[in-house]
Structure 1
Amino acid sequence: MRFALELAALVSIGIWSWVTPSAPLRYVAVVAVPVAVAALWGVFATPADASRSGGTVIATPGPLRLLLELAVFFGGATALYAAGSRTLGVLLAGVLVVYHLLSWDRVVWLLRH
């Protein structure tokens, strides 16, 4: 489920990257923006995080990682909303709230590490 939500966030950011800039820039933005977000997502991680195989490139404190995750997930919902897909953006945000409530144990783990 988490992987599907990660992909949904990146696709949503890609959609926003396509509809926001003017025609010549959109071809660069639709690739560059989601790749940059995915790179940040993959590089900054909390060591021993079971949801990420435990490895990391740049060791990041858990609370900071949680903020990054919330920014990417809810940034995707916001991007979808801003791109004109308001219903899907709100739906994605609702699913994300439920997901984070159901994975509260991981949220607490991040806050403690």
Structure 2
Amino acid sequence: MGNAWWNLTLRFLLELAALLGLGMAGWSLSAGFWRWILAAALPLLAAMLWGTFAVRDDPSRSGGAPVPVPGALRLVLELVILCGGAAGFYLTGHAAIGIVMALLIALSYAFSVDRLGWLLRQ
């Protein structure tokens, strides 16, 4: 299940960008005290979900799975967080960044067909 180094790097950068996009959405889509809470809570929640719910023996995660889930559920979780981050950029007035991020997410998954197949078999 080897991925090229560039795709692993891209994926990591997309994960970081997703957290930023979610934080920006939390800030922009609320007001007053709640904007501070949501700007911190959305990325923290996403990071907690990402780190907690995993497929058992996933080689991309050193095999660890604090809460084991089926591969299809993990894939949905990944897509919701990544695309949620892209949507966060889009909805906060950074449409070009959101669109580019969505295209890069699609590119990364297009070059991860072996991992997608593995996830769906779990």
Name the TM-score, length of structure 2 as normaliser: 0.89
Partner residue of 1:77? 86
Aligned Cα RMSD in Å? 0.8
TM-superposition CA deviations, 1:26-60 (whole Å, max 9, x none): 11111111101111111100011111111011100
Matched to 1:71, the amino acid is V
Matched to 1:32, the amino acid is A
TM-superposition CA deviations, 1:66-109 (whole Å, max 9, x none): 11111111111111111111111000000110110011111111
Partner residue of 1:18? 27
Partner residue of 1:67? 76
**Equivalences for residues 1-113 of structure 1 within 5 A:** 1=9, 2-113=11-122
Cα distance, 1:16 vs. partner?
0.9
Tell me the SS of whatever aligns to 2:42: helix
Distance in 2 of aligned mates of 1:54 and 1:5:
22
Name the TM-score, length of structure 1 as normaliser: 0.96
Cα distance, 1:23 vs. partner?
2.3
* Structure 1 outlier segments of 4+, above 3 Å: none
Give the gaps of 5 or more residues in structure 2: 1-8
Give the gaps of 5 or more residues in structure 1: none
